[in-house]
């Protein structure tokens, strides 16, 4: 016959075990929350690898403006519907830029959004211009209100895409000359496009760059991780390799264009 204190001892042990399990779950939840949070406020706050410095660009340029783009604290990528994107492994950080309420702001649209936001911020309204695949021009006109601007972009996103943007970006750029604002683009139905957000270099003359994208369905614009070199991520190295592998699409060095 078991001593009377055995059941009590069993209950105490069970309670301790349940408490430990609860503690473990609580720690895991805290860790997951920490992982899901982004500590950087802007693109310029994202740290560089050792030995690299950012290239200096004049105030008021598109390159300098892109570095000031704010980042969300939440690293989760959401679609235009408010649901989480199925793939949450592609992003390093999420830009604090509207995705809209329709399935329109996809890859090339995100590039056009950032370009338009830059000119809107600079009050260069006459430079907010995009063309569709047939060459029809869409120019932002008064009233220069935020509501009218957002409605204008929805029209642009509905009529323009990677195929038309590739035609609009006529200047080809060598990878060695890469700058923020340049676009890796392959026009198609669908094609894909990602935008260069930042560039840095080291004393040996090596360059690195950062990319951002939206995708299908329309989703938050996000800074991409480097799936090939995780130690360098989210930076990519300019090298002699023809293929540029991003988390969800592969480009070639010959597909870099400039406005």
DSSP element (H, E) containing 120? helix 107-121
User: What percent of the chain stands above pLDDT 70?
Assistant: 86
pLDDT in the model for residue 233:
98
pLDDT in the model for residue 35:
52
Residue ranges of the chain with pLDDT lower than 50? 1-19, 21-34
Count the helices and strands in the chain (H runs, E runs): 5, 13
pLDDT in the model for residue 163:
97
pLDDT per residue as tens digits for the range 71-111: 999 999 999 999 999 999 999 999 999 999 999 999 999 99
pLDDT in the model for residue 94:
98
The full DSSP string for 138-202 is: EE--S---HHHHHHHHHHHHHH--HHHHHHH--EE--GGG--TT-EEEE-STT-EEEEEEEEEEE
pLDDT in the model for residue 36:
73
């Amino acid at each position: 016959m078991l001593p009377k204190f055995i059941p009590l001892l069993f209950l105490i042990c069970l309670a301790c075990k349940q408490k430990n399990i609860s503690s473990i779950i609580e720690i895991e939840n805290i860790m997951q929350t920490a992982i899901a949070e982004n500590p950087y406020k802007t693109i310029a706050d994202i740290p560089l690898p050792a030995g690299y410095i950012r290239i200096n660009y004049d105030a008021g340029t598109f390159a300098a403006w892109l570095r000031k783009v704010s980042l969300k604290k939440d690293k989760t990528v959401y679609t235009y519907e408010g649901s989480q994107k199925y793939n949450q492994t592609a992003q390093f950080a999420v830009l604090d830029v509207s995705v809209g309420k329709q399935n329109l702001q996809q890859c090339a649209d995100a590039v056009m959004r950032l370009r338009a936001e830059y000119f809107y911020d600079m009050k260069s309204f006459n430079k907010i211009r995009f063309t569709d695949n047939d060459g029809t021009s869409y120019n932002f006109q008064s009233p220069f209100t935020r509501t009218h601007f957002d409605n204008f972009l929805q029209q642009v996103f509905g009529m323009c895409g990677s195929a038309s943007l590739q035609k609009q970006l006529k200047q080809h750029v060598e990878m060695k000359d890469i700058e923020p604002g340049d676009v890796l683009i392959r026009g198609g139905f669908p094609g894909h496009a990602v935008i260069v957000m930042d560039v840095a270099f080291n004393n040996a003359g090596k360059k690195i760059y950062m990319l951002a994208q939206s995708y299908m369905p329309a989703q938050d614009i996000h800074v991409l991780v480097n799936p090939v070199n995780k130690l360098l991520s989210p930076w990519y190295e300019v090298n002699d390799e023809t293929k540029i592998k991003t988390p969800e699409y592969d480009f070639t060095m010959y597909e870099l264009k400039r406005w």
